[in-house]
Amino acid sequence: MHFTSEQRLDDGVIEREFSLGEIPGILWTPASASASAPAPLILLGHPPLGLRKMYPRLVARARRSAADGFATATIELPGSGERPRWAAAEQARADLRRALEAGEPVSDEIVDALVLPLVDKVVPEWQAALDALLSLPGICGPVGYSGGVISIGIRLAVVEPRIAAAALFAGSFVPRAMFEEARQVTIPLHVLLQWDDEGNHRQAALDLFDAFGSQEKTLHANMGGHAGVPQFAGDAAARFFARHLS
């Protein structure tokens, strides 16, 4: 991992862009973090729209987390942003678009092709990023995962013991195979559901919540569509991490 830029935001948060091999990423640390007082880390998940497009929302979440004493980091997803095109992923997204535009039901095949290869590829990348991030002074565990793609969060919660808590956004298609993985999740979960999410199937989200094996799991359902998460729902997720990572 090497840093390619560093700037101090107006609230004192340090924002550093980095490269991990071919993968670009961003690390935000609170002004208070130091080698003797390291900040627990939250990994910021996001949809495959490219870090540049997602930046305004990501930096807002990073600032909020920094105010609570947490470092945050994110990496570019494969096939997104400046990373090389990924033909299989583009094909899957084109198939999804076609089904949605035709008003057809989205088949299991489309969902599997859209999500499963992404999960298989991204999770080891997140783990490599974790190795690098946790070796930095000023950053420590326990680690949280926050956001979507929810299937990435599920797989990470199952395979990565350094992830101690996850706030998952039930806002994306979930392959049937991930329901089985969800049963193996045991860490505390905070699941956010937008009740009228246009890109989501409400009953599937409720079934997924039911499937999680965690003893502590909370579902927060709010009104509105995919991008309409109310401010107080973000506050509640922040308190969830304060309870479990501090």
Q: Of the candidates 47, 25, 42, which has an alpha carbon nearest to the alpha carbon of residue 150?
A: 47
Query: Is 102 or 223 the residue whose CB approaches a copy of itself more closely?
Result: 223
Burial class (CB in 10 A: 0-12, 13-18, 19+), 36: exposed
- Which one among 20, 106, 132, 219 touches a copy of itself, defined by CB under 8 A? 219
- Which one among 106, 159, 204, 221 touches a copy of itself, defined by CB under 8 A? 221
**Phi and psi, residue 69, nearest 5°:** 95, 15
Spell out, one character per residue from 33 to 62, where the chain touches a copy of itself: x when CB under 8 A holds, - when not.
Answer: ------------------------------
CB-based contacts of 47, cutoff 8 Å, min separation 6: 54, 148, 149, 172
- Which one among 233, 237, 238, 245 touches a copy of itself, defined by CB under 8 A? 233
Query: Is 82 or 207 the residue whose CB approaches a copy of itself more closely?
Result: 207
Q: 35-38, long-range: CB within 8 Å, 24+ apart, which pairs?
A: 35/137, 35/138, 38/137, 38/138, 38/139, 38/140
* Number of residues counted as binding a copy of itself (CB under 8 A): 21
222: contact with a copy of itself by CB under 8 A: yes
DSSP one-letter string for 125-194:
HHHHHHHHHHTSTTEEEEEEEEES-HHHHHHHHHH-TTEEEEEEE--S---HHHHHHHHT--S-EEEEEE
228: contact with a copy of itself by CB under 8 A: no
220: contact with a copy of itself by CB under 8 A: yes
Per CB under 8 A, the segment of 53-61, 122-130, 168-176, 202-210 that binds a copy of itself is: 202-210
239: contact with a copy of itself by CB under 8 A: yes
- Which residue(s) pair with 202 in the sheet? none
- Which one among 116, 218, 226, 234 touches a copy of itself, defined by CB under 8 A? 218
Query: Is 98 or 243 the residue whose CB approaches a copy of itself more closely?
Result: 243
Q: Which residues bind a copy of itself (CB under 8 A)?
A: 195, 206, 209-210, 214-223, 230, 232-233, 235-236, 239, 243
